[in-house]
Structure 1
Amino acid sequence: MFKDILVLVIVALAVLLSACNETSQPAVTHSPQENLGSRLDSVSYAMGMNVGRVLRSQGFDTLNYDAMAAAIDGILNNAEQPFKQEAANRMINTYVSERAPVLAAQNLLQAETILDSLRKLPSIVEPEEGVLYRVLQQGKGEYPAHQQQVQVHFISKLADGAVLENTYDSGTARILETGSAISGWNTILSIMRQGDIFEVWLHPDQAYGRSGGYGGLVPANAMLYYQIELL
């Protein structure tokens, strides 16, 4: 169930390198806040963001950052390390395995608490258990057919507000087939019409469940929030 540290690093780097594939996308205007002193400072921070997101999803809520920085510096400078890579992998996998049940239970409790509070709001609709939505904008277009390809813009977030993906920022809508997404998305897309914008909250059973997913960025039993626009 849990990935070797090498897989975690690959996932983090894949998220990083995906930016290199956006050269064919429409240009995005960057705010001054995206520059941190120097280009190297900005790139270093960006790498830390991506690695941190993966680590957090695996239960690393805190680390000794001085020790981590020293290890990175040592590897980059080919210095002798206090233990071999195999031992390092075992330490990490043991820690993740021990933390996993606790993290999953915490996430499930958080999900159910949030969804229970949302159910009390008059603007919230629950067409299927664990799939809650609120209409932000009503469209006037057609309802998509089953297994029809549609275009959507969306923002996805974890319960703590951490953004997983924002297609508005990339400027490129996502193309997907109705009925072929995660369960909660299939339910929502079946009741949306072109032009609709919904806020959506998904119980983990309607999202990535006990195993998590999304390239390792969604933890086990995580509730997900979306803003979805059907184009």
Structure 2
Amino acid sequence: MFSIANATSPAENKAAGEAFLAENGKKDNIVTTDSGLQYEVIEQGNGASPSATDNVTVHYKGTTIDGKVFDSSYDRGAPATFPLNRVIAGWTEGLQLMKEGAKYRFFIPAQLAYGERGAGRVIGPNSALIFDVELIKVQ
């Protein structure tokens, strides 16, 4: 298990994320794109695939690489709808690989997530992230 709980600097977060992704990318069920995004297909969909300029409705759960949940539409009890080109690059790229009804797990390197700035108190600078995403609808 890779832990960022004791990471005290952006450099440590980056090193932990890179080590996690290097190990994760060796698994048979993980696909790594040219950008470094990794994904696992949990369930295939059979509907439309979004383009970067579409709005999407999704259910999702976001965690740090050591499993701490920082956001979840499931916990809020309602899916989220947003323009796909207004989210982190890892989501914009990854969701375009999906079809409506699909469930994927994204392993997002820091540079495709919040980069050096981080986000909030839980996502530190240079943090890799994991998202379980269910694509419900493309508009």
Q: TM-score, normalised by structure 1?
A: 0.54
Q: Which residue of 1 aligns with 2:130?
A: 225
User: 2-side partners of 1:106 and 1:119: how far apart?
Assistant: 20
- Where is the strand percentage greater, Structure 1 or Structure 2? 2
Deviation at 1:211, TM superposition (A): 1.2
Larger CA Rg, structure 1 vs 2: 1
CA RMSD for the aligned pairs?
1.8
Unpaired runs of at least 5, structure 2? none
Deviation at 1:145, TM superposition (A): 2.9
Alignment of 1:100-179 (within 5 A): 102-179=8-85
Is the partner of 1:108 in helix, strand or coil?
A: helix
Q: Which residue of 2 aligns with 1:197?
A: 103
Q: TM-score, normalised by structure 2?
A: 0.88
Over the matched positions of the two proteins, sequence identity in percent amounts to 29
Say whether the 8 Å CA contact 1:152–1:173 is kept in structure 2: yes
Deviation at 1:147, TM superposition (A): 1.3
Deviation at 1:181, TM superposition (A): 1.0
> Greater RCO between the two (CA within 8 Å, min separation 6)?
2
Unpaired runs of at least 5, structure 1? 1-56, 62-98
- Where is the helix percentage greater, Structure 1 or Structure 2? 1
Q: Which amino acid aligns with 2:53?
A: Q
State the aligned residue count. Answer: 133
Q: Which amino acid aligns with 1:226?
A: F
Q: Which amino acid aligns with 2:22?
A: D
Q: Which amino acid aligns with 1:202?
A: I
Provide Cα deviations, 1:76-123, integer angstroms capped at 9, x if missing partner.
Answer: xxxxxxxxxxxxxxxxxxxxxxx9xx5111111110111001111111
